[in-house]
Structure 1
Amino acid sequence: MLLFALRRSRPKTAPFRVRRLGSQRAEAASFGSVRCFSQTSALKEAKNVPGIYVANVEGRQNSSPILLGLADYFERHLSSVGFFQPVAGEPFPNSTTGLSRHIDLMRSAFNMKQEASQQSGISAKEAAKLLSTGQTDEMMDIIYNKYVEYRKQHDLVIIEGLNGFEAGLGNVNELNAKVAATLETPVLLVLDSRTKDGFSSANDLANSVLIDKQSYSQNNAALLGVVLNKVNPKEHSIISQQVKSKVHSNDFAFAGAIPFNPLLNTVRLNEMKAALGSRLLYGQNDSLDAEVNEVLVASEGINELLDHLHKMDARPLVITSRDRTDVLWTLLTAHSNPVGPRVAGILLTSEGTGPTGLIDRMLSSAYGKHGRLEGAAGAPVMIVDKPMYQVCQTLGQIQASVLPTSALKIDHAKEAFAKYVDVNSVAESLAAPKATRLTPKAFMHSITQKCQANPQHIVLPESSDKRVLTAATQIVRKGLAQITLLGDPESVSQDADRLGLDLTGINVVDHMKTIDKYVGVLCEARKKKGLTEQQARDNLQDINVYGTLMVLAGDADGMVSGATTTTANTIRPALQVLKSKDRPLVSSVFFMCLPDKVLVYGDCAVNVEPSAEELALIAVTSAETAAAFGVTPRVAMLSYSTGVSGAGPQVEKVKKAVEAAKSMRSDLFLEGPIQYDAAVDPEIAKQKIKTHSEVAGQANVCIFPDLNTGNNTYKAVQQSTGAIAMGPVMQGLTKPVNDLSRGCTVADIINTVACTSVQALGLKSAPIK
């Protein structure tokens, strides 16, 4: 007879101790520690926050108690609370659903009805594969798109961060910070006070919190605060106060500290049943939510078994082979007898045959239809198709967890959350006004949605370039735009076949055979220059002229070119026939996709030395372009001085430009002169600008005083930060035409086509004459 004993008196991980009765030999197997989690208590402003990202800074996966507590709190304040995992976790052992364990738990505990497939971004296996091949951005795109669609269905989403148990995910804290920043969700850090060596001191906990705070901040994650978990119950009050004091002195919110709860660290019958994949033979399911402190292997005589049970304080799980019906009957008889020893449950292993025939009918009758023995709750009887040695091995390795059926643990987790965590400190962080900031992922997602909702017709003249061909097929496949290529259809088809590309849905026009269609249109547009029909035919042989005329005639909504031609060749035809009468100045902007935000830079490509009036027009047009792309404009007119601190011709030009721009659009948030650092950095803005400002420290549209400054700045920022520079996007034309760099990538072409499509949509709703 073997005995497994689970002791909980020490703060270290509790072991199952295994021994054979009557012998001194013993073996030990780890019983794994558990962790609980928590958050807050009065978050009425939560409706304005799409999600809260819960990150276990130690990368552990046993965070179910705090997730339960969060959902329980928010469900009392909001009508719809969701749960999402950026990277799906592993299922419970022998899970019948195959779902990530915490998705399974939250769906069951809170009756979540949406498709489970919507509640995770990507599998751990696929995430590891993308990360190992340097495709982090691709992984982030997948997670972001899935999250945004799921978020639409809920007032608030609780997001469980990645854990360190998934192989190949690397630095989990760094990855969690980047995912949270991408999803634009504030992070609640959780730190476990209990380790394998005991409980951490207040000083160690406070230092760890501040290190983790710095790490997350460096990766552009917004932070709500911290919750301590599994704090030493004997020192709970003093540890809470000491950590709170040190954390607050470093401008960080302390949400609370949950003491260690032994019950949450126990293993229960339903967890054993799940780990073994056993099934309930007799008894009720709710009787499985019972604590098991010891496991007794009954392999010898009945007298020895009963004698040992009588001396035990706890109710054990008794394991015996399925052919030991004598043990089964004895245990059930003792269990139902007022003076007999009780057991938590009985497990029958695969050796021999189970109860059959008359014995089975007698047991079924004894339990009755309600699963109870006459006069007492029936001890649950489980059966498993595994040999005894394998069962013992599995139970020796089991870790405590919270299953969908762990009703008592779920209740304790909710109660601890409500009692020990103060959500008011977190609510203040959530409700605090924040500068509007558009992240690159949100920006690109917005553009993609605009394009897919109303695909525009874009002409790409350079069909001979394989990058253009490749981009065209991807654009059509993603539904971003309708595409027309210029060139000989047979040659284009051969090139596509060689590259393995499918041109289905792409229109190919042989411009050399259809020149006459636009001769009259070009002559009319250039009649003041006295353009003849023959000159028009000659000009239309140029693919950029032909593409621009398609746009002018309304046969395309925009044109993108420049992969094989110069900027002058791309833009000159547009300047000749698509210039605005109301706004004769054509300028450009770059969308600078920095790691944590999107800025608009203008003009960095067209106007060399704009006058004050031209600078004002560039500012207003850039603000309108920004708005068309979903950026709420806060315009900074840049100079080498801020406010009235400097003088000189350049500063005076900017001052005049500010006045002129405000007279054109008094509704805009527009300020200047201002230096770049004071425009975009809140901390520097506080030092340099003492008056209230809607722009300083939060500008997202930066207008440079001349081309030299603008062009050098965008390139310097691009090189030093790794920012993606989308552009130049031409503005001031009646219809959009945009230029590509000759070193452009397929992604650059796709992005430029998407920008051109958004411009086309904006000009249709608010045309320039």
Structure 2
Amino acid sequence: MSKNLYITATEEKSGKSAIALGVMQLLLRDLQHVAIFRPIINDNQTGSRDHDINLIMEYFNLDISYEDTYAYTLKEARELINSGKHSLLLENILNKYSQLEEKYDFVLCEGTDFQGKDQNFEFDINAEIAANLSCPVLLVANGRGKSADDIIASTQLVIDALEDKGVDTVAAIINRLTATEEEKNEILSSIKCKTRCSQELLVYGIDENESLGNPSMNDVRKWLNGSVLYGHGRLDTLVDDYVIAAMRIGNFLEYIEDGSLIITPGDRSDIILSSLASRLSSSFPDISGILLTGGLQPSASVHRLIEGWTGVPTPILSVSTNTYRTTQLLSELYGRIDPDDQRKTASALGTFEASVKTDELRHRLITSKSSKVTPKMFEYKLVQKAKANKQTIVLPEGTSERVLRAADILTRRGVADIVLLGKADEVAGKISQLGLEMNDVRILDPESAPQFDDYCETYFKLREHKGIRMSDARDRMLDPTYFASMMVQKGDADGMVSGSITTTAQTIRPAFEFIKTKPGASIVSSVFLMCLKDKVLVFGDCAVNPNPNAEQLAEIALNSAETAKIFGVEPRVALMSYSTGQSGKGADVEKVKEAVKIAKERNPELKLEGPIQYDAAIDPSVAKTKLPDSEVAGQATVFIFPDLNTGNNTYKAVQRSAEQSVAIGPVLQGLNKPVNDLSRGCTVPDIVNTVAITAIQAAAEKGQI
């Protein structure tokens, strides 16, 4: 079941708030607890609540704190991105969203209003947020005043662009249409047929409703903080356009139309009286009202004349701003729906229900769930999963700057309890030099540690058969990597991460010596978690075994499938080769065939295919030709390579060539307890991710996951 939806528009004034109102009512028919969330709201200088959030909260009486319903203003978001803190922006949005996701059955998200100066920026940030929240999108397009060709082309372009950014669009609503019924049907069917969505697109059209799209005189009053001089009972009159009256009366009257709001300085008695007269004349269009600017008011005699008029036919407002500034402010006003405006809310909901197949849309929203996972979302989920079952992780490279910066992040975010190895004064000095604060980090010097003698004795007994003497054991335990590995072996730490300044051999040799492999396992192997633009794949073995035999390859496949499960990837295992199915021959192909046979015998329920080429494993269109009946071909998630040369080169090629890709690992598998190796070129985020992975592995070993 889906737990979220992201409503975004193609441009400003699309009527998105009315659609959000209709969708929320639709959701509340089936779900009891639904939250509203706007990752980025408009810049607000007055301190009042965001309009759309307030509308949804008040109308549906949602039990949610306003502060929980948004993350940033548009200005704040832009400043973070411009200052190089893009990741922080996304992380905090994910944090806020996740807090709501834990409490509510469904989170209805709404994008920005496209009222900023850069609409491309707003499109990109909406798409990126939706992708990182794994939110399917409902797109609202503005059809007002556009030809059928323009609507089709622009909507199709946006939907395809969202698809390219890893976003699933479940439905599109063309709002504010002014087309004939025949044109409308042509528009909707064309959009449905031409877009490149991964699933059938639902497309609906809603006709222009002036009562929703046009502001009322009351909207004008609120927007300009004006006062009502006359016509208190007529403030629901709709405004269609603005006429600035600066001409003589004879010329001015030629410009008024139905629904015109007359804007004029408050001392232009001639304009005021002629406007009122036009409203009483059947020969002239009906204006919506008069707006007096500059804080000026008609003379006492004109006031007296108006007051003597039986039932002033049109509302008259007064504002303090001059005519130019007033017109500027009004250019930003559009029809808004207030939660206490029963006529508008009823009209919005009625129009939505009459135009949208609500049962069809409700079924799609509640049953559809985006299967796409971005690198940022995967990294965030790693951290959250590690935090949920907090483990103790030892980092033997206690004076490495990258390790210390990572330890600072890990403790601040509560990912794991961290133990740093090294001489206390050296580690503390480096922490101070870097300006870090790590009061919750434990610093341990192996030589002076209380468990040093016990570790030496344990190592001696475990390796005595190899000719190790006690003096050798003491030397080994002075090595931070050996000491850290023994902490894991003895249960004083749940896992170890090393390798930022030491080789892979130095990192994993102690684990091979005394942590050993799991019962029934004959080999230690590795996988990389390949976070692509919209999915996570598992690649193995790309770091440890140069040329595994068929039995070892089968074991790597089975272990990799288990690792995939731990990290939320449904295993569909493909064993790579230069041929697919029965198309090729040779010793390398036969090895893969034998490995597949062994793996299937050990785990008949596992979805597994091989030998198979990479294109047939990942591309559904190729799979239909080469292996049309396979459960794995075209949708593989775990890729097992026949040797280290192939695996290492492939993961690096994918990492460097795939857009927005992140390779996390290597993740070691097959050991009794989790130990993981870092690349010596690793970044601070790499270390954070690897520690989170190690903590998750440790929790899984204990049966906590």
Length-normalised TM-score, structure 1 = 0.80
Q: Which position in structure 2 is the counterpart of 1:356? A: none
Q: Which position in structure 2 is the counterpart of 1:218? A: 164
Instruction: Work out whether 1:643 is the aligned partner of 2:581.
Output: yes
Aligned-pair CA distance for 1:306: 6.7
Kept in 2, the 8 Å contact 1:255–1:422? The answer is no
Aligned-pair CA distance for 1:504: 0.6
Q: Which position in structure 1 is the counterpart of 2:549? A: 611
Structure 2 regions of 5+ residues with no counterpart?
Answer: 240-258
1 CA distance for matches of 2:58 and 2:234? 18
Instruction: Work out whether 1:660 is the aligned partner of 2:598.
Output: yes
Query: For structure 1, which segment, 520-529 or 143-152, has the greater mean C-alpha deviation from structure 2 after superposition?
Result: 143-152
Q: Quick one: structure 1 residues 746 and 296, their matched pair in 2 at CA, closer, same or farther if it must change by over 3 Å? A: closer
Q: Quick one: structure 1 residues 60 and 743, their matched pair in 2 at CA, closer, same or farther if it must change by over 3 Å? A: farther
Aligned-pair CA distance for 1:425: 6.0
Kept in 1, the 8 Å contact 2:423–2:444? The answer is yes
2 CA distance for matches of 1:495 and 1:754? 23
3-state DSSP class of the match of 1:679? helix
Aligned residue runs from structure 1 range 131-142, under 5 A? 131-142=81-92
Instruction: Work out whether 1:547 is the aligned partner of 2:547.
Output: no
Q: Which position in structure 2 is the counterpart of 1:128? A: 78
Q: Quick one: structure 1 residues 457 and 100, their matched pair in 2 at CA, closer, same or farther if it must change by over 3 Å? A: same
Q: Quick one: structure 1 residues 428 and 317, their matched pair in 2 at CA, closer, same or farther if it must change by over 3 Å? A: same
Q: Which position in structure 2 is the counterpart of 1:352? A: none
Q: Quick one: structure 1 residues 250 and 520, their matched pair in 2 at CA, closer, same or farther if it must change by over 3 Å? A: same
Q: Quick one: structure 1 residues 501 and 740, their matched pair in 2 at CA, closer, same or farther if it must change by over 3 Å? A: same
Instruction: Work out whether 1:704 is the aligned partner of 2:674.
Output: no
2 CA distance for matches of 1:109 and 1:181? 29
1 CA distance for matches of 2:84 and 2:426? 35
Instruction: Work out whether 1:342 is the aligned partner of 2:288.
Output: no
Kept in 2, the 8 Å contact 1:128–1:168? The answer is no
**Which residue identity lines up with residue 291 of structure 1 in the other structure?**
L
Q: Quick one: structure 1 residues 200 and 315, their matched pair in 2 at CA, closer, same or farther if it must change by over 3 Å? A: closer
Q: Which position in structure 2 is the counterpart of 1:202? A: 148
2 CA distance for matches of 1:497 and 1:586? 39
Q: Alpha carbon RMSD of aligned pairs, Å?
A: 3.0
2 CA distance for matches of 1:525 and 1:318? 92
2 CA distance for matches of 1:679 and 1:444? 25
**Which residue identity lines up with residue 148 of structure 1 in the other structure?**
S
Kept in 1, the 8 Å contact 2:3–2:369? The answer is no
Query: For structure 1, which segment, 426-435 or 590-599, has the greater mean C-alpha deviation from structure 2 after superposition?
Result: 426-435
Instruction: Work out whether 1:110 is the aligned partner of 2:48.
Output: no
Aligned residue runs from structure 1 range 686-725, under 5 A? 686-691=624-629, 693-721=630-658, 722-725=660-663
Kept in 2, the 8 Å contact 1:90–1:99? The answer is no
Query: For structure 1, which segment, 436-445 or 737-746, has the greater mean C-alpha deviation from structure 2 after superposition?
Result: 436-445
Q: Which position in structure 2 is the counterpart of 1:183? A: 133
Q: Quick one: structure 1 residues 325 and 410, their matched pair in 2 at CA, closer, same or farther if it must change by over 3 Å? A: farther
Aligned residue runs from structure 1 range 279-298, under 5 A? 288-292=235-239, 293=259, 294-295=261-262
Kept in 1, the 8 Å contact 2:508–2:675? The answer is yes
1 CA distance for matches of 2:364 and 2:24? 19
3-state DSSP class of the match of 1:157? strand
Instruction: Work out whether 1:401 is the aligned partner of 2:335.
Output: yes
**Which residue identity lines up with residue 141 of structure 2 in the other structure?**
L
Query: What percentage of residue pairs aligned between the two structures are identical?
Result: 38
Aligned-pair CA distance for 1:250: 2.8
Kept in 2, the 8 Å contact 1:471–1:747? The answer is yes
Q: Which position in structure 1 is the counterpart of 2:48? A: 98
Kept in 2, the 8 Å contact 1:489–1:510? The answer is yes
1 CA distance for matches of 2:678 and 2:422? 19
Give the alignment partner of residue 424 of structure 2, picking from 483, 486, 489: 489
Aligned-pair CA distance for 1:505: 0.9
Kept in 2, the 8 Å contact 1:460–1:560? The answer is yes
Q: Quick one: structure 1 residues 202 and 329, their matched pair in 2 at CA, closer, same or farther if it must change by over 3 Å? A: same
Give the alignment partner of residue 630 of structure 1, picking from 568, 581, 588: 568
**Which residue identity lines up with residue 136 of structure 1 in the other structure?**
H
Kept in 1, the 8 Å contact 2:26–2:362? The answer is no
1 CA distance for matches of 2:428 and 2:84? 33
2 CA distance for matches of 1:450 and 1:254? 35
Q: Which position in structure 2 is the counterpart of 1:359? A: none
Q: Which position in structure 1 is the counterpart of 2:181? A: 237
Aligned-pair CA distance for 1:605: 0.8
Kept in 1, the 8 Å contact 2:228–2:317? The answer is no
3-state DSSP class of the match of 2:135? coil
Q: Which position in structure 1 is the counterpart of 2:218? A: 270
Aligned-pair CA distance for 1:314: 4.4
Counting matched residue pairs gives: 668
**Which residue identity lines up with residue 238 of structure 1 in the other structure?**
E
Q: Which position in structure 2 is the counterpart of 1:14? A: none
2 CA distance for matches of 1:487 and 1:189? 55
Aligned-pair CA distance for 1:227: 2.1
Q: Which position in structure 1 is the counterpart of 2:245? A: none
Aligned-pair CA distance for 1:571: 0.6
Kept in 1, the 8 Å contact 2:15–2:213? The answer is no
1 CA distance for matches of 2:327 and 2:157? 40
1 CA distance for matches of 2:566 and 2:359? 38
Aligned-pair CA distance for 1:678: 1.9
Aligned-pair CA distance for 1:729: 0.9
Kept in 2, the 8 Å contact 1:127–1:169? The answer is no
Q: Which position in structure 2 is the counterpart of 1:458? A: 393
Q: Which position in structure 2 is the counterpart of 1:156? A: 106
Query: For structure 1, which segment, 702-711 or 449-458, has the greater mean C-alpha deviation from structure 2 after superposition?
Result: 449-458
Kept in 2, the 8 Å contact 1:84–1:147? The answer is yes
Give the alignment partner of residue 4 of structure 2, picking from 44, 51, 58: 51
**Which residue identity lines up with residue 20 of structure 2 in the other structure?**
L
Kept in 2, the 8 Å contact 1:637–1:702? The answer is yes
Query: For structure 1, which segment, 262-271 or 304-313, has the greater mean C-alpha deviation from structure 2 after superposition?
Result: 304-313
3-state DSSP class of the match of 2:378? helix
Instruction: Work out whether 1:568 is the aligned partner of 2:515.
Output: no
Aligned-pair CA distance for 1:106: 1.9
Aligned-pair CA distance for 1:322: 6.7
Q: Quick one: structure 1 residues 574 and 88, their matched pair in 2 at CA, closer, same or farther if it must change by over 3 Å? A: same
3-state DSSP class of the match of 1:249? helix
Q: Which position in structure 1 is the counterpart of 2:514? A: 577
3-state DSSP class of the match of 2:530? strand
Q: Quick one: structure 1 residues 503 and 151, their matched pair in 2 at CA, closer, same or farther if it must change by over 3 Å? A: closer
Aligned-pair CA distance for 1:621: 1.0
Q: Quick one: structure 1 residues 241 and 460, their matched pair in 2 at CA, closer, same or farther if it must change by over 3 Å? A: same
Q: Which position in structure 1 is the counterpart of 2:354? A: 419
Q: Which position in structure 2 is the counterpart of 1:34? A: none
Aligned-pair CA distance for 1:333: 5.5
1 CA distance for matches of 2:368 and 2:27? 21
2 CA distance for matches of 1:305 and 1:541? 94
Kept in 2, the 8 Å contact 1:458–1:482? The answer is yes
3-state DSSP class of the match of 1:210? helix
Aligned-pair CA distance for 1:433: 7.7
Q: Which position in structure 1 is the counterpart of 2:251? A: none
Q: Quick one: structure 1 residues 261 and 526, their matched pair in 2 at CA, closer, same or farther if it must change by over 3 Å? A: same
Give the alignment partner of residue 191 of structure 2, picking from 220, 224, 247: 247
Aligned-pair CA distance for 1:462: 1.0
Query: For structure 1, which segment, 733-742 or 65-74, has the greater mean C-alpha deviation from structure 2 after superposition?
Result: 65-74
Aligned-pair CA distance for 1:600: 0.9
Kept in 1, the 8 Å contact 2:134–2:370? The answer is no
Kept in 1, the 8 Å contact 2:2–2:369? The answer is no
Aligned-pair CA distance for 1:583: 1.2
2 CA distance for matches of 1:264 and 1:513? 75
Kept in 1, the 8 Å contact 2:394–2:484? The answer is yes
Q: Which position in structure 2 is the counterpart of 1:537? A: 474
Q: Which position in structure 1 is the counterpart of 2:205? A: 257
Kept in 2, the 8 Å contact 1:589–1:622? The answer is yes
Length-normalised TM-score, structure 2 = 0.87
Q: Which position in structure 1 is the counterpart of 2:173? A: 227
Give the alignment partner of residue 22 of structure 2, picking from 55, 69, 78: 69
**Which residue identity lines up with residue 400 of structure 1 in the other structure?**
Y
1 CA distance for matches of 2:644 and 2:417? 34
Structure 1 regions of 5+ residues with no counterpart?
Answer: 1-47, 350-385
